[in-house]
Each structure stands twice: as C-alpha cells, then as structure tokens.
Amino acid sequence: MQSNLLQTPIEYLKGVGPNRGDLLRKELGIHKYGDLINFYPNRYIDRTRYFKINQLQNSSAEVQIIGKIIHIKTVEPPKGKKRLVATFTDDTGQMELVWFQGQKWIRESLQLNVPLVIFGKCSSFGGVFNMAHPEIELLSEHEKSLRSAMQPVYPSTETLTNRGISNRVVNKLMQQLFLETQSLFAETLPNYLLSDLKLISKKEALFNIHFPKSADALAKAQFRLKFEELFFIQLQLISRNLIQKHKIKGHPFSKVGTNFTSFFQNHLPFELTNAQKRVLKEIRNDLGNPAQMNRLLQGDVGSGKTIVAFMSILLAIDNGFQACLMAPTEILANQHFIGLSELSKLLNINIKILTGSTKTSERKIIHEELENGQLQLLIGTHALLEDKVQFQNLGLAIIDEQHRFGVEQRSKLWKKNTIPPHVLVMTATPIPRTLAMSLYGDLDISVIDELPPGRKPIQTVHRFDSNRLKVWKFISDEIALGRQIYIVYPLIQESEKMDFKDLMDGYESISRDFPLPKYAISIVHGKMKAADKAAEMQRFSDGKTNIMVATTVIEVGVNIPNASVMIIESAERFGLSQLHQLRGRVGRGAEQSYCILMTSHKLSNDSKIRMETMTKTNDGFEIAEVDLKLRGPGDLMGTQQSGVLNLQIADLVKDKDILQLARHHAIKIMQEDAGLQKPEHQSMRVVFIEMTKRKNIWNYIS
C-alpha cells in the first residue's frame, strides 16, 4: 500500500491543491508524496527553550515566548512604511510584534487575550523589544502538534516565500503527509545490515529527520539516510562494473610480442618508475582477459601517463589489433602525435593523425589504410568519431582528458567494432578518492602517484602586484640564462571583453618592458585562427621567442622543456585545479622551474586558501581534496558531470567515511549475490530496479 500511496500526485495532499502543487513542482521539483517525504530540512532550530520577555537580548538568535496579545493598532508615520503593531505581554513585561506585509488578513486572524506561542528574531528599538513577522500559534495547538524539540528549516525560494508557502506551511504539509501515510514506509535495507551497522529503521529515520525528538535521534536518522543514499549509488556502479566484466566480451591480448619487448629492452627513454610498472601490470592483466577493459588512468601532470598508454598500444599491435587515441583539442592531439611518433620511429609502426584540419587527400589515405589494416595507430580529435572512419579491427581505444567528451561521443567509438575495444581513459586532473568512487565507481582505477626521477619540484611563490618590478627583474635574469617564460591571463566567458582588454594591455606593457630586438614575444588567445595559434606556439617551441603571453588556451598539452617560469596573472580568478594544470606546463626539463602567482591585495578567504595550498604542495591529489572542500562536487566536475551528484542528504566532502562504509558493504553484497536474488535482498532489489529506471543520474558515467 505504501509504495502506491507515495506515487500520489502532490496536489491531492490536504492543504496543497492545484496552485500550491504547481508551485512545489516548479520551485522544488516535488511532484508526488514520495518527493515530499524525501525533501529533507537543511538545518534545525532548538525549540525546547521558552524565553521570558525580561530575558531577551539584542542578538540575532531566534527565540520563542509564551504570552498573549492585549492590544493591536495600525501605525501610519508621515515618513516610512505603514505597519501593524500588536502589544504582547507575559508575566515579566511587554514587547511589540510588527507586520509590514499582509496586514489586513493578519489583523483579522489575531485573537486578543488568548495564550499564544510566538517565534522569531528579536531586536531592540528605543528600549522596547520587537519581533517582525513572528510565527504565531495557539498554545493549545502548539502542545498538540507533532512538534519536535529540533524545529526543521526546509530549503526555500523567494517565489515560495512571496506566495505564502513559508517554512511553517511546509512543516504542516509534512505532518499531514505522515498522518495520511500512517508512516507505513517499507524497509529498503536487509535486516542483517541494520543490525551489523546498528542502523535505525527506515520508518524511524524518516520520522526523526522531519520531527526529531532530540539531537541524538536526529544524528541517527541522518546517518541511516546518508548511508542508504550512498549505498544504492555504489550498488549501481558496482553492478555495472560486474556486468561489464561478465557480459561485455573483449579481445584477449594473449601474447607479449616483439614490439613491446623490443621497446621495453632497447628503446625506453628512461627507467620506468615503480608506479608506472604497477599500473602497466594492472593494464596487462585486464588486456589478457576475455572481458572488455574499462580502466581510468589518473596521473598528475608530468607523471608519465603517455609512456604507459604507448606500451598498452604496443600490446594491441603485437596481438594483431589497431589502436586509437582521442584527445579533446588539436594542440593536444598534435602533441601526442609528435611524442608517439618519436617513441615508435625505431619500431616501424604505421601511425597517423586525423583532426579537423587534415587535408582531404590525406584523409583518403587514412580511411583506406584503416580499413585494410595497414594503419596500426590513429591519433585524433572528435574527427575519429565520424562515420567514415572505419577500422579493420580496433582493439584498444584510449581517451585523454575524458571529462571533455560526452557519453554519445564515447559510445560512437565503441561501435567501430563488432566486439567493443578495450578502453583506457586518461586524466591529468587528479580526482579526490570520494569523488572517484562516486563518479567512476564502475571503472577500475589506476593511479600513477610518483614523478620520474630527476624532476625537480616546481617552486611556487605568491606575489602581489606591488612586487611586479622584482618579478620582471627575475624574468630577465632567467631569459639571460637561456630559459623561456609563460605569462597567463584569465579568460572567463562572461567578461570576455574585459579579459581580452587585460590580455592586450598586459601584452603591450610586457612588450615595452622587454623590447625588440633583445626580446621576442609570442601571443596566443581564443580569438585567433587555429593556424595562427599553431604558428605562434611553434615559434615559442622552436625557441624563437622568449615569452609566451596567453590565455588558458595553453592549459592542456604544451610540452616545452626549456620553459622554466610560469607567471599567472590575477591568480585569484582561477580555480585550484586550473592553477595546478597551468603550473604543470613548466618543470618539464632538468632545470629548476618556478611558478609565480600574481594577485591584488584584496583577496577573499577562499582565494587565500587557494594561494596557500599552491605554495605549500605540488601534489595534485592533495590539491584536489582542498578544491573539493572549497567548491563542492558539482562545480569540480563541470556541469556535464554534476547531475550525478544530485544527492538529497549525503555530502561527499563531509561524509567520506559513510561513503567508504557504503561501498564496502555494496561490494560484499554484489560479490555474494550479484542478481540480488536471495530472499533477504528482495526489498533492496525493488529499490535497485526503481533506480535503474531513473536513468538521469547515470547518463554521465563512462
């Protein structure tokens, strides 16, 4: 009975009706009874305490008082707003209640000399305390209602408040809902889990989240509901992972052939780090299995993901398969092409690049060689997804910086083969563990967490605009030593004109301070044609210019070992992960490199934390954790990913431990009963199937 009742449209609840129902749908996404039950308060007020009028203080705290109204009048001052004023008394003194809006119906509803409970914020004016727009209730009603010690405060919007749907109204609707459903809420977790984790029942948790009798009851309710929310998300992700491993067949790469062995023994440009060896072993194990590999490779800027990707490609080629590598921008695709051509030149591998600017004649050759199997490795941008691009037998697809590609784009790549290729997703944006467990819980994760030996950590300093002369002196010293400099300006979509002006002003003043012929400067920004950008990048790469002035166009994928200084202008306008990515553009050669964060003196608290974090650590994972705390999960993953984290009660930052607990139990259950067929798992299976129907949260996951 209960699950059907929870499907009832919200307007049928007593006290709602069509108009309020419409508002609740538009403003809060509450369509049916079940949505209202899961609409949780975002804070609570302690209503156990009653104040006397002579105990009031001029603070912004909310108080409740028992007393009665003895007099009402309308005040119309010559200047200022008309207001309704009531004199309220108890046995210790008197105060005023004031209303500026809705005066007519409030006046009609007020009763004189009846015991009332008032609630609101007090302020003192001319020695008299007053309370504006108080909540008022008859003492007799107050004592009868489902009142809890901790008064819930629900999220609201301006429209709702203006249309009379106050917190008190939501509270009353919630009481009505509990009366109509008689709290018949089905249990969703198995009994053994409740007793193992000492969790309260679903029914008890829902009651205590809306009407907590004490702080302890509230804490137990929150823990139970947070656990449940995170547990079902993990169940979904883990089941997807198991389905991929059992049902989606892949090509087993059974041998380690000559290309791989020859490269490993004779052509490795440097000794692999232990982290690279470990990750390569994980990938080789996956590729040897008859199930499709789905692995996320995380590594900080400069940790050597490319070489691991290349050796995985060699395994595919040695087993008679083709491979492809897809990057989000032409600059990055070109860089991969140059790097991998360099690595493979001694191995006689046929490797080509396909981007938007590839000539038609070259495209024709690429299409032919792909289909007859001569072309072993194709690198490219979105151009790889075109229908014309057909492989003879694609065995491995590598996607770089995957958060920049949508789901449809990725699935097009899988369909290029009858049996889906193995998939390796790479990212240089370290993802905090809690986020990775929630966003990529269905992928196996490999992490390269050490830098190649001989790399000197980049020294990062924070300087104010007033120190600019010293910074310029430092630049000229570095150029005298033969090094190159990046100077990056922010580019924020909304204020593009202003940013463009900042960039051009900056470029002009740098050109004055570092004049020709002694110095040469390149400039790169989003308004330039692709060919002009490439030409400027090339000049800098060839060492023909000393300074590169740019917007964040260069954030991903420029590899210039001779560039040793990164100056970030208006650094307070960048997010942490962007600052970290930009810093990773230097420090690629053997020389000591520097990153200088330039800001104004006026910094918000968050900006200060960002500057301190950057100067304190080079560890991308540590930086990502701070970023998650500052910005929250939605912002961190960009809009296309944030839907996945539309959590109702849990918080990935604060509830890390609950998430790990939930994942642990979800894995255990899925290993023992993947189809949730056991009798004790029936209630869980119902919720699981219901969630699978609601595709919205899972769309974005790889």
Which residue bears the tokens 């009975």?
A: 1
Candidate from 86-95, 218-227, 309-318, 435-444 with smallest mean pLDDT: 435-444
DSSP assignments along 90-154, one per residue:
ETTEEEEEEESSSHHHHHHH--TTS-EEEEEEEEEETTEEEEES-EEEEHHHHHHS---SEEEE-
Highest mean pLDDT: which of 83-92, 453-462, 535-544? 83-92
Give the whole-angstrom CA distance, residue 120 versus residue 105.
19
- Answer yes or no: is pLDDT of 594 > 90: yes
The runs of H, that is alpha helices, within 145-273 are 158-162, 167-181, 191-196, 202-210, 215-247, 258-262
Q: How far apart are CA 138 and CA 125, in angstroms?
A: 27
Is a pLDDT exceeding 60 seen at residue 637? no
Residue 682, CA atoms < 13 Å, CB-side half-sphere: 3
For 391-434, the pLDDT digits (tens) are 999 999 999 876 666 656 767 777 787 788 999 989 887 788 77
AA identity, residue 213:
K
Which pLDDT does position 682 carry in this prediction? 94
Nearest to 39 by CA among 133, 155, 140: 155
CB of 561 within 8 A of CB of 589? yes
Q: Which residues contact 614 (CB under 8 A, 6 or more apart)?
A: 460, 462, 571, 576, 579, 580, 583, 595, 597, 623
Give the distance from CA 576 to its chain's centroid. 13
| pLDDT on residue 701 | 33
Q: What pLDDT, on the 0 to 100 scale, is given for residue 639?
A: 38
Determine the Cα angle at 229 with ends 227 and 231, to 5°: 65
How many CB atoms neighbour CB 674 within 10 A? Answer: 13
- Helix residue ranges per DSSP H, 322-427: 330-344, 360-372, 407-414
| Count of CB atoms situated within 10 Å of the CB of 457 | 12
Q: Dihedral of CA 392/396/398/402: which sign?
A: positive
- Is the entire prediction scored with pTM above 0.85? no
**Residues 191-217: tens digit of each pLDDT:** 999 999 999 999 999 999 999 988 899
Please tell me the chain's helix, strand, coil percentages from 3-state DSSP, rounded to the nearest 5: 45, 20, 35
Please state, for a pLDDT cut of 90, what percent of the chain lies above it.
55
Helix 620-637 with 605-616: angle, nearest 10 deg: 140
Task: Render 289-345 in DSSP notation, one character per residue.
Answer: SSBPPEEEEEE-TTS-HHHHHHHHHHHHHHTT-EEEEE-SSHHHHHHHHHHHHHHHT
Q: How do residues 8-52 score in pLDDT, each as one tens digit?
A: 999 999 999 999 999 999 999 999 999 999 999 998 887 778 999
Residue 74 β-bridge partners? 84
How far is 357 from 101, CA to CA, in rounded Å? 64
Average pLDDT on 88-110 reads: 92
Q: Which amino acid is at 105?
A: W
- State residue 441 phi and psi, 5-degree precision: -65, -15
Distance in angstroms (rounded) separating the CA atoms of residues 62 and 56: 10
- Per cent of the chain over pLDDT 70 is 93
Residues contacting residue 662 through CB under 8 Å, at least 6 positions apart: 227, 230, 231, 233, 234
Residue 430: is the preceding peptide bond cis (ω within 30°)?
Answer: no
Residue from 453, 454, 436 nearest 445 by CA: 436
Two tokens, residue 557: 């994928």
Q: What are the distances in angstroms from CA 576 to CA 581, 606, 607, 631?
A: 9, 10, 9, 10
- Using DSSP's 3-state secondary structure scheme, residue 1 falls into coil
Q: What is the pLDDT of residue 405?
A: 64
Is there a contact between 457 and 679 (Cβ–Cβ < 8 Å)?
no
d(CA 682, CA 203): 18
Mean pLDDT over 656-672 rounds to 92
Which secondary structure element, helix H or strand E, spans residue 400, and what is its range? strand 394-400
User: Nearest Cα to 578, choosing from 559, 553, 560?
Assistant: 553
DSSP character for 8? S
Tell me the HSE value of 647 on the side-chain side, using a 13 A CA sphere: 26
Cα end-to-end distance, the chain, whole Å: 37
Cα 259 from Cα 252, distance rounded (Å): 17
Structure tokens at 59: 């603070």
Calculate the average pLDDT of the chain: 88
Q: How many CA atoms lie within 13 A of 331 on its CB side?
A: 22
**Cα–Cα dist 258/256, whole Å:** 7
CB 204, CB 212: distance < 8 Å:
no
Rounded to whole angstroms, how far apart are CA atoms 87 and 131? 11
The two tokens of residue 151 are 């008064």
Q: What is the pLDDT of residue 700?
A: 30
Higher pLDDT pick, 249 / 63: 63
